[in-house]
Structure 1
């Protein structure tokens, strides 16, 4: 009886070891595939669709907006990050290359466009005359469409910024995870 228990234990350990080895090998291959995924080169299709809806819905309530930024390459992001640090100008971002949802095609920025085609970043402006800030009305539309708004952030406010994270952190994106191209 003791030999049967010992034999069973040895077989169990061998089978477990084989399964563990296969699992680890597959996990390492999966992680390598993730890490080698290329960065996106444009806006995510869902973000692009929601961006267009944002512009349309804002126009329906008399607010003309301009999307001032969307996808940013790592080089563009690094240039913005350097501004106000080792390049002239004011600091406009705290995110270095690879640290912004813009770098993964998951964020947009907007501004208000006036009748003369000039652009303003005035969060108190009420050009549609309904007694509400146009800026905040656009942010509310964005949130209805599934965007997170930078004006809701606790650490610092980024009023022009809207992003869709799809539940992925910047660290997840840096590791190669990407959201699906359509909502199921």
Structure 2
């Protein structure tokens, strides 16, 4: 199975912008680690079966495409737990020109950035060999904003985009309701004294992964 972390295995234009994004993250004080660049079909199938990929066949991560990469916070024990980190890193990725998976409604993927030419190219197009044009190189000098102004803009966006908290099965996204209801029925989720829930998008994704692994059957905390 192939699951590379090598930025050089990305398409050259994407690799250059990935490195530009890493520099922006470092300038913003974010400790970022690239965890995956290209993968083969066998590894994509593994991700799909454990609930961390939406499809069993790679598209943007494919060996021939090299258009996407995954990342995490480079702090032991806190790699995926800080939603503010992913919000800030995702915003910086969008600034460079990437599409951020944290914006997706049906299958949010916060640790994911890809070059889709502004969403014009879909996974099915990539799998068919229809790839987007070269990604324009990001140059920080293209903006008249100072680093402080850029940071202030990112901070404002983070504040305005605090992750939602779902307090009942009914106000969860449609894709997660059945899983949340099962977790409630099995006693995995018990809510507060009034029966109310407090679930974030990260909680919903984790619950879906547990269900895919068959771990939502019986007792909970």
| 1:92 equivalent among 52, 67, 81 | 52
Higher relative contact order (CA 8 A, sep 6+): 1
Calculate the aligned-residue CA RMSD, in Å: 2.3
- Contact kept, 8 Å, 2:54 with 2:107, in 1: the verdict is no
Q: CA deviation at 1:61?
A: 1.6
1:112 is aligned to 2:73: yes
1:160 to 1:147, Cα distance in 2 relative to 1, 3 A: same
Q: For the residues of structure 2 that align with 1:96 and 1:175, how far apart are their CA atoms?
A: 15
- When normalised by structure 1's length, the TM-score is 0.61
- Contact kept, 8 Å, 1:81 with 1:96, in 2: the verdict is yes
Report the counterpart of residue 38 of structure 1 in structure 2: none
Q: Rg: which structure is higher? A: 1
Report the counterpart of residue 150 of structure 1 in structure 2: 101
Question: 1:58-99 CA distances to partner (integer Å, 9 max, x unpaired)?
Answer: 11121110011111122221222233xxxxxxx21121114x
* Gap regions ≥5 residues in structure 1: 1-40, 84-90, 125-132
Number of equivalenced pairs: 126
1:60 is aligned to 2:27: yes
Q: For the residues of structure 1 that align with 2:136 and 2:88, how far apart are their CA atoms?
A: 25
| 1:71 equivalent among 33, 38, 63 | 38
Q: For the residues of structure 2 that align with 1:107 and 1:119, how far apart are their CA atoms?
A: 23
